[in-house]
Structure 1
Amino acid sequence: MGILELQNLTYSYDKKRKVLRGINAQMEAGKMYAILGPSGCGKTTLLSLLGGLDSPTSGNILFEGKGIAQAGLAGHRKKNVSFIFQSYNLIDYMTPQENVRLTSKKPALPFLERLGLTREESKRNVLKLSGGQQQRVAIARALASEAPVILADEPTGNLDEDTAGDITEILKESAHQMKKCVIVVTHSGELAKQADVVFRLKKGELQIEQSEKSS
């Protein structure tokens, strides 16, 4: 059984334009998933639903066999999932270390240094960092969390090619070694190639494009 399960999930904007149409899927711990699709197709919406940031128009999302709506979306967001937002969503009056400490009791510096920030940069206000550095802080915050699911929205979008490759390896390691369920929305074909399972969201339907690197 998957750690996350989607059952006949639909979502409509303003109860008119249907973005997601009866999606059924399972995601397992220990694997990295990539979700591809054109801009505006609903990828970020799907990620928000998985993270309990929004509710579907119909259908259910289960975490370890229990409906997240019934169990409580706030608790789901706090305990079960960690987010890497495209817009970073950092607390702007804090330092990188302080931002990471919000999600974990573990020492923050090792996570930040692993993602390429120096000790000095880790003590600066996050607004004094570049966009790429802020993205690394957002990723460090998710990696430090105890939550078993990582939801990442374009995690390599603001990074150079070499750093993007490093981040992809770290996300893979989080899945394969730390046994987390890592779900990544991306436009990057290179990142998708590294995923265990690749989904494509097209016309509101989620299709498996690649499974277990078998194709």
Structure 2
Amino acid sequence: MAILEIKDISYSYDKKTNVLSDVTAELEIGKLYAILGPSGSGKTTLLSLLGGLDVPMKGKILFDGENIAKQGLANHRRNHVALIFQNYNLIDYMTPVENVKLTAQQDVVPILERLGLTMAEMNRNVLKLSGGQQQRVAIARAIASDAAIILADEPTGNLDDDTAAEITTLLKESAHQLQKCVVVVTHSNDVARQADAVLQIRHRKLLMKEVAQ
């Protein structure tokens, strides 16, 4: 069942040249999607539209059959999606544990441990962590949330290979075991191979290909 539907979306930065043109797709719960494409092709723009951070010039985004613009974009961001940004967007005066607890109903320590943080690091101010550690906290916050959709912009970009592989596994588990719809913008072929489907942006169009597991 499609939890997110993209209906004839077009988007332009300058109202002249489209970055995305008449894009249509259906995204299901229980699946991990990878969005691929060259730099500047509109990958992050599409993610922003799905998350209600921007609005299309044409077309609409549906969540569970309802237009997110009519529901209210703030409502969509608050209740339906968990976002993993490249710039982390953590609360800078809090610890990792406190940041993740903002979205979690369960014990957050096991999630942070699995992402490679020590107990000392979990209880340290996030500004005293490295960029890679802050990225892990941002990922933990999204995974621990109750949101039906996880949207991630290059979540493994600043991480070593072992941690990147573990995070990809966690995102896949979030889709398959927790029945979330997980959408990842990535340049990583490893992430794409783990995905259930690849969304390829080429020449302002979106092509979806199921991945054989």
TM-score range, shorter chain: over 0.9
Q: State the superposition RMSD in angstroms.
A: 1.0
Tell me how far apart the structure 1 counterparts of residues 212 and 86 of structure 2 sit (CA, whole Å).
26
Tell me how far apart the structure 2 counterparts of residues 20 and 186 of structure 1 sit (CA, whole Å).
18
The aligned counterpart of 1:126 is 126
The aligned counterpart of 2:25 is 25
Tell me how far apart the structure 2 counterparts of residues 185 and 98 of structure 1 sit (CA, whole Å).
27
Q: Under a length normalisation based on structure 2, what TM-score does the superposition of the two structures give?
A: 0.97
Q: What pairs with 1:1-215 in structure 2 (closer than 5 Å)?
A: 1-208=1-208, 210-213=209-212
- Percentage identity across paired residues of the two chains: 64
Tell me how far apart the structure 2 counterparts of residues 60 and 26 of structure 1 sit (CA, whole Å).
12
State the one-letter code of the partner of 2:125: N
Tell me how far apart the structure 2 counterparts of residues 195 and 213 of structure 1 sit (CA, whole Å).
9
State the one-letter code of the partner of 2:28: E
CA displacement 1:66-101 (0-9 Å, x = unmatched): 000001111100110001111111111111111111
Q: Under a length normalisation based on structure 1, what TM-score does the superposition of the two structures give?
A: 0.96
State the one-letter code of the partner of 1:134: Q
Q: Shift of residue 17 of structure 1?
A: 2.3
User: Secondary structure in 2 aligned to 1:133?
Assistant: helix
State the one-letter code of the partner of 1:165: A
Q: Shift of residue 103 of structure 1?
A: 1.4
Gaps of 5+ in 1: none
Tell me how far apart the structure 2 counterparts of residues 62 and 191 of structure 1 sit (CA, whole Å).
26
State the one-letter code of the partner of 1:2: A
**Matched positions, count:** 213
Q: Shift of residue 108 of structure 1?
A: 2.2
State the one-letter code of the partner of 1:206: L
Gaps of 5+ in 2: none
State the one-letter code of the partner of 2:210: S
Tell me how far apart the structure 1 counterparts of residues 118 and 133 of structure 2 sit (CA, whole Å).
10
